[in-house]
Structure 1
Amino acid sequence: MQQTLEDAPAATSDHGGKLRTTMAAMRLSFTWFGTRKSLSSEQKALAANTFHAEGKYISAGKKLIDTGDASFRAVTSVRTQATAYFKGATLPFPEPGIRLVPQASVDQIDGRMQGFRDELAEAVAALDTRFDELKYEARDRLGDLYCESDYPDTLQGLFEIGWEFPSVEPPDYLRRLNPELYEQECNRVKSRFDEAVQLAEAAFIDELNKMVEHLAERLTGNDDGKPKVFRDSAIENFAEFFDRFQRLNIRSNEELDQVVDRARHVIDGVAPQSLRDSESLRKRITGQLAAVQSSLDGLMVDRPRRNILRRTK
């Protein structure tokens, strides 16, 4: 059975230290063919003349291919899915591009990324077979702005997905070369993981808050005198959140744990169609969600998350 963070030993209240010993850093990256290109100086000058403007004071670009084509959307869909999976399986970390993954899940996540890489290769191969046709269509649409040199001979190798597990710990050689600097780096890393705990709490709070707000608005709002229609996902998303919270939560905030449990009890066993059919059920769930919302509001006021989030942008 796969070990979750809540199953890990919790003999210490040092939640940042717990993250540090149970998580691994991970970075996801993409190589992506650019579908837009700036106009040349001559082309911008011609465009500027249309508006009686100076070329250096305008900015203009062109779209190389139709990104709405089904074959191109299939390629971007893989990137969207890989990114969503990466974010859903990891916790935030206060360094650009890096998130934290449970060490026990590294093999599973690596295997899933390999699957996304294979899916991307297949989608790019299909897009490549359409590339000449897409260029032909672009020639008609761009007119004099079309330039054959803007396009590669093939799209193979121009769309790639990559991931790595970089070390965020101070290098051991620094201990020998400069013990004082090594100690400074250890303190910096400790501070990073302490911030990561707060970032994780803030992310869970914000996500749950948005779902509760959305469902409550769907249940109480009116559209032309009738209750607003909501999709099954308004309920299903809660189940996905509860599962992720259980896998990634390090039990650093007892109040947050209690609010999530309360929300779970509100949603458990509630079928979307039952909410559509029963006004009394909608009223009951709405009242219970209001209590959850009130608790979340208190957590959002108490957590110093704004400064932390600002530093990670």
Structure 2
Amino acid sequence: MTSVLDEPRSLASTSASDRLRSTMAAARLSFNWLGVRKSLTSEQKTQAADSFDAESKYLSASKKLIDTTHPVFKAVTSVRSRAVSYWKTVSLPYPEPGLRLIKREIIGDFNKQMEVFRDELAIAVSELDLHFAEMREAARVRLGDLFDVSDYPATLVDEFAITHDFPAVEPPNYLRQLNPEVYESECRRVQSRFVEAVELAEQAFLEELAKLVEHLTERIAGQEDGKPKVFRDTAVTNLNEFFDRFRSLNIGSNEQLDQLVSQARAAVNGIGPQELRTSEQLRQSVSTRMVAVQAGLDQLLVDRPRRNIQRRPR
């Protein structure tokens, strides 16, 4: 049962979900990627099990086909990592596996950046393909009798790909006339998804800010051997990047969160990492203000209703 005290929050969430629904699009990032491991055959598992006096059906075993630590292979996986990072940076979570929400106004920029990643991937894969024969021969030596040339494609050119699309999350219009009752049911389902998306966005922002604030506070307030702890520039720059992303993606669904982000931004506004390293007074000032922010974040995290809407990373 919803209490009177719950109504303002509920209305704010509904308004935010409507804004999400009218301004955002679902974006999906997909990959075609070379498998680098392969399960052993039944005969190979039986042979492995015999060496341990075990039953093969209770044994799970695979072989690694190529050296994934090779620089040219790492260059390929780096492109994928950067594509995923970009996708997540410009988007908000959505409670459907593999989907995130991006602003409709940046779809053009998103398309262009994906093309950049595809071009980079093609170059990296071409370089990997030049070394593929030697990497396969190295695997022959490492795998011994487990090596099977048929496990490997003739070329790697078509074994890697990055694709993206913008799947529809709204109910199709044809349902409105074919079956109005089903259409209305689908509209309610989609609306509930966007309400969940608001909550997921708030949770993600809260947890990320809390982690960044805690890290910076711990580094600038603590000491090691009577001296201030050493901290990397990223302790500050990551916070500033968060502020930029929050400003871009914030949907105004939580006034308390907005206020805490503003307090954290004001605490480090215009302050560089080197200034914090050289000024004890500045460290104390920032630390005091960040501790207050941290307390507010902790309370907000505790007060948030716990709903089972967490899903695997997208």
Please indicate, yes or no, whether the TM-score normalized by the shorter chain is above 0.5: yes
Mapped to 1, the partners of 2:282 and 2:99 lie a distance apart of: 43
User: Where does residue 108 of structure 2 map in the other structure?
Assistant: 107
- Are positions 1:57 and 2:66 aligned together? no
Residues 1:311 and 1:147: Cα distance change in structure 2 (over 3 Å)? closer
Tell me if 1:144 matches 2:145: yes
Asked if the contact 2:97/2:312 (under 8 Å) is kept, the reply is no
Return the alpha-carbon distance in structure 1 between the equivalents of residues 280 and 180 of structure 2. Answer: 67
Residue 303 (structure 1) shift: 2.2
- Measured in 1, the distance between the counterparts of 2:108 and 2:233 equals 32
Query: Does 2:201 match 1:200?
Result: yes
Does structure 2 retain, via aligned residues, the 8 Å contact 1:199–1:305? no
* Partner-residue secondary structure (3-state), 1:152: coil
The amino acid of 1:35's aligned partner reads V
Shift in Å, 1:229: 1.6
CA-CA distance at 1:273 after TM superposition: 1.3
Cα contact 1:202–1:305 (8 A) shared by 2: no
| Residue 306 to residue 275, structure 1, CA distance change in 2 (3 Å) | farther
- Counterpart position of 1:252: 253
Q: CA deviation at 1:13?
A: 6.7
Q: Which runs of 5+ in 1 are unaligned?
A: 1-11
* CA deviation map 1:278-300 (0-9, x unaligned): 22222221111100001111221
Residues 189-220 of structure 1, C-alpha deviation per residue, up to 9 Å, x if partnerless? 11111111111111111110000011111123
Aligned to 1:167: 168
What is the deviation of 1:96?
0.8
Q: Is the 8 A contact 1:259 1:295 kept in 2?
A: yes
| One-letter amino acid matched to 2:34 | F
Letter matched to residue 49 of structure 1:
D
Q: Percent identity?
A: 58
Contact 2:79–2:121 (8 Å) recurs in 1: yes
Larger mean Cα displacement after TM superposition, 62-71 or 292-301: 292-301
CA 1:215–1:76 in structure 2 vs 1: closer, same or farther (change >3 Å)? same
The 5-angstrom pairing of residues 257-272 of structure 1 reads: 257-272=258-273
CA distance in 2 between counterparts of 1:254 and 1:304 reads: 16
Q: Residue 5 of structure 1 corresponds to which residue in structure 2? A: none
Partner residue, 1:297? 298
* 1:130 and 2:131 matched: yes
- After the TM superposition, which residues 152-231 of structure 1 pair with which residues of structure 2 at under 5 Å, given as runs? 152-231=153-232
Amino acid at match of 1:31: N
Contact 1:28 1:97 in 2 (8 A): yes
Unaligned runs of 5+ in 2: 1-12
Letter in 2 for 1:112: Q
> More deviation in 273-282 or 248-257?
273-282
In the alignment, residue 103 of structure 1 is paired with which amino acid? R
Task: Count matched residues.
Answer: 302
User: Structure 1 residues 104, 64: closer, same or farther in 2, change over 3 A?
Assistant: same
Over aligned residues, Cα RMSD in angstroms? Answer: 1.6
Residue number in structure 1 paired with 2:8: none
- Amino acid of the residue matched to residue 138 of structure 1? A
Tell me, in whole angstroms, the C-alpha distance in 2 between the residues paired with 1:162 and 1:296.
37
Distance 1:80 1:116 in 2: 10
TM-score when normalising by structure 1:
0.93
In 1, the alpha carbon distance for the partners of 2:203 and 2:104 equals: 22
Letter in structure 1 aligned against 2:296: S
